[in-house]
Structure 1
Amino acid sequence: MTVLESYRSLAEAQKGRARGAPAYSLYVNRPVGRLLASVAHAIGLTPNQVTLVSAAFTFTGIALLMLVPPSIPLGIVVWLLLAIGYAWDSADGQVARLRGGGSLVGEWLDHIVDSAKLVSLHIAVAIGAYRFFESLEVQWLLVPLLFTVVATVTFFGMILNDLLRARIGAPQAAQAGGSSPVRAMLGIPTDYGTWCFMFVLWGWAPGFMVVYSLLALAAVLYLAAALLVWFRKMKGLEAVA
């Protein structure tokens, strides 16, 4: 199957839009991932190989944050590495759909890599800031540590929601209603793609820390609201079950 044939086939194999999916993930990352998936499928890459390609880009960018002194050019490189890794992350599931469906081990590997990158990214910010932001007061390091906790709990909450829904046969989030343009735009501050882009400021420590802290605050507020919604929905599903 050629790249063009793969690309066309994916139009009929797309999964539903998850409720509340943010704009970058929905309107940029998934289409780019679709193109990468078409190329990967045409050259014979498996979904697990695509996941490993994604991990290679992502963790190279994360390592640079910890190992190389900050600069604007480095920030741009890190942004591109993380963004490309994110697009490949979208591609692995699309390659699986082209091949007729995913596997348990593929889903397991994808979630392991996703959870590792979410923790590693914010830990890398803490390490890089501690090593290279000379005028940074030490209390600012609490921000990436808080961000690590929030990102981890948010990711685990979404995975657990799907796991428990599947346990009682309830529709998954992607089947329970799409993401409206307004919801997608409101989700931009909590979008992983937005987190990737903020690293263009990595060479300007004060500006980066302000933007990073605002995104951390948005993530905290999102998680607080999401936990209330998820709790009510779980109680409702429990009553139905």
Structure 2
Amino acid sequence: MVKKIILMLVIFSLIIFSGCEDKNKIEDEDEIKDSKIAQLESQIEQLNTKITELEGEINELNKQIEYKDDFVEIMTEYISDGDLLTLARMEWTYNIQVDEEDINVDGIVELDMPTFSLKVEEVQNQYKALPTQIRNLGKISGSLFSNHIQFLDAKPSETSGIDEANISSATYVFKDLSPGTEVSLEISRELQDRLGLETNILKIIYLVDEEIQTLEDDGEMNDQESEE
């Protein structure tokens, strides 16, 4: 009988102790939740403060931009047409590259590979300082790719292009050329001037190693004869 009473007391004690543990656990979880909520509320308040500060900075920048635009527009009234055109041309850049290398000023490129790519590119300065009407005066006339480039003999095997906000380009790929093949193209005088080239006839020549060495030797001989 005594054993039964003791056993019942032990069981009763365990039940009470377990209940206390559950209660303490719930209270701890509530405290953790309250702490996290307080942290999140603090972070939200900080973010709202930062947003307000950024909005003020944006408004100030917009005022500066508006002032700059008005100032530039007034200044253009006191600049000659020639100077305006010079400034407008500075807003546009034109490039022609063969296998990502600029073409020499003499317009001649010698290659030792039967496949190459020719890239023609028009780049507009992403930071626009001049009014649109004046800035567009600096752009090359007509279409760069239709009006200013003409292939005289060999035609490209592939053509691709991009037309983005500030960049327009066309890439012409020539494949499996025979040794000695010369790819010639004529560019307009206007494009020649923008590229700073000495000629408007560009020549890309595929030479094997022996031909390149012969040309180099001939050049050295000519230099020696000139010195004599």
The answer, yes or no, to whether TM exceeds 0.5 is no
Q: Which TM class, normalised by the smaller chain length?
A: under 0.3
- Between Structure 1 and Structure 2, the one with more strand by share is 2
More helix by proportion, 1 or 2? 1
From the CA coordinates, give the structure whose radius of gyration is larger: 2
**Highest relative contact order (Cα 8 Å, sep 6+), 1 or 2?**
1
User: TM-score when scaled to structure 1?
Assistant: 0.20
TM-score normalised by the chain length of structure 2: 0.21
